Structure 1
Amino acid sequence: MDASTGPSLYPLHRSKTLHLVRHGQGIHNVEGEKDQSAYLSYDLFDAHLTPLGWSQVDNLHKHVQACGLFKKIDLVITSPLLRTMQTAVGVFGGEAYTDGIDVPPLMVANAGNSNHPAISSLNSPPFIAVELCRELLGVHPCDKRRSISEYRPLFPAIDFSLIENEDDILWLPDIKEKTEQVAARGVEFLNWLWTRKEKEIAIVSHSDFLFYTLSAFGNDCHPSIKSEICTP
């Protein structure tokens, strides 16, 4: 805190620990770095992870297992787009399948052109898809989602029940969401998150969403702390 306001203390039972994860490299990231106009291409609709993106996911999975974080996570929340759901289940997915144990997979084999084997939900935390933590909405087809009925067979163990609309009514082809709207959506998301009983939550989302959400915080802190919170 700023020295003029003094430090603050909060009881632990009034706190949550949030692990913020940006998805692995998507095909839109590769094409957009070559040419910004590529983001307007419908060839990148609901962009999936690249092989490098999956490598990033696998490395993070190994890390959360090795450091013991995997056993602490009570809930995984994911944006309902291919690249974020692939990242979420790849990082926080469960153990390998065992004969005689019948549980639905978090992801079926080759979901979203992944060329990736199925990912188990065995001993994994619950997964929920939430619209509020989607990427900045509009104009770019890579940020438009598919229908929920298309996603369910690909990600059988993800809970889509909180998504009210079958089709994507939030993304518009000619109107781009303003940054202050993204920040307000992020604050709404965190306010909703506070109503959850879970204490340690992983959130798999997008760079713009995370950046503009975090930019809404830290105004009561020293500028050096604010800059740490809001570093892209």
Structure 2
Amino acid sequence: MTADVTDLKAHAERLRELHGGEMLVLPNAWDAASATIVAEAGFPVVATASAAISAMLGYPDGEGAPWQEMFAAAGRVARAVSVPVTVDAEAGYGMQPRELVDRLLDIGAVGCNLEDTDHRAGGLVEAGAHARWLADVRSAADDAGVPIVINARVDAFLPAGGIPEADRMAEATRRGRLYLDAGADCVYPIGVRHKRDIATLVTELPGPVNGNTGEHLDLATLRELGVARVSYGPRFYRAAMADLKATVQELLA
């Protein structure tokens, strides 16, 4: 473990505390420069976005990039800032729980997103099996002495998850409860677009909920609904690339 375990533990505990107070807003970073901008702006945590990092590295999202490159990039983010860092670790890259925990701690990360999509087979991982795997990740973190904050992403609302639209709320709620019971610290039902849906999830799930802003969901609305954490994924990376594209095209005019 490269970083000092005492410092990592303090960062992990701080990250967990931030899920229980004022809504935690995470404008996701993808490299050392963007992470520094986020931290210097005053945000208490830096989160990475796997889609942004994989695109930066030249690979498709959804575990299309080698994990070694993804972790190396996330490690540069963690080294660039002094605040807690949580890493989008996709579906865990097929790692055993202790290996995943050790590699996160080696790069200085104290939190992770773990999603329940099976990128190799397609669709969602069986909920019970995923809950058991999350419980093993929690146990491995406990054994390592650092209470890594697990943000369990529930992909039931994504079309690729294969859940009929009428069943998505019930399935997301079922999975979220299982994951919280397994030791996850927060549930992230990605793909929720409507106020009524995120409101139901906040009410039905016995733990913090990660939301996203969108056409019908601004920060004020999410805060009013009791959302604990808001993340942006690759949104700012894509905005930066769009700005670069427009700027360099002006040079050809």
Q: State the TM-score, normalizing by the size of structure 2.
A: 0.33
Higher relative contact order at CA 8 Å, sep ≥6: structure 1 or structure 2?
Answer: 1
